């Protein structure tokens, strides 16, 4: 019985998503963001484009939603990020603007 409980506990821990920055390259994420995302955000929200992340009515409330949004933006903008690029950008944004708990 104890073996089954220990195995279940391990499986539960491995099933949990890692924090965005655990294996991501924040510098690469910032570079990709600045090269592929900023111009659109500046055009849409003005200023330096950071209002996309700091406006009161922002829709992103957790890391899963942020990852999904980065993937959608990558596809819509034609950036065509690889999955690791999306993770790097999401990690950079999570660290820079969101600080999810």
**What's the whole-model pTM score?**
0.77
Mean pLDDT of 3-8: 45
Residue 57: CA count within 13 A, CB half-sphere: 1
Q: Are the CB atoms for 84 and 21 separated by under 8 Å?
A: no
> How does pLDDT run across 31-79, given as a tens digit for each residue?
999 999 999 999 999 999 999 999 988 889 999 999 999 999 999 999 9
State residue 16's pLDDT score. Answer: 40
């Amino acid at each position: 019985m104890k073996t089954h409980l220990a195995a279940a506990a391990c499986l539960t821990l491995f099933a949990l998503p890692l924090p965005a920055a655990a294996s991501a390259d924040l510098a690469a994420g910032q570079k990709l963001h600045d090269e592929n995302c900023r111009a659109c955000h500046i055009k849409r929200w003005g200023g330096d484009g950071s209002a996309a992340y700091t406006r009161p009515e922002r829709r992103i409330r957790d890391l899963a939603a942020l990852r999904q949004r980065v993937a959608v933006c990558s596809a819509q903008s034609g950036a065509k990020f690889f999955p690791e690029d999306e993770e790097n950008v999401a990690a950079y944004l999570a660290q820079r603007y969101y600080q999810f708990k």
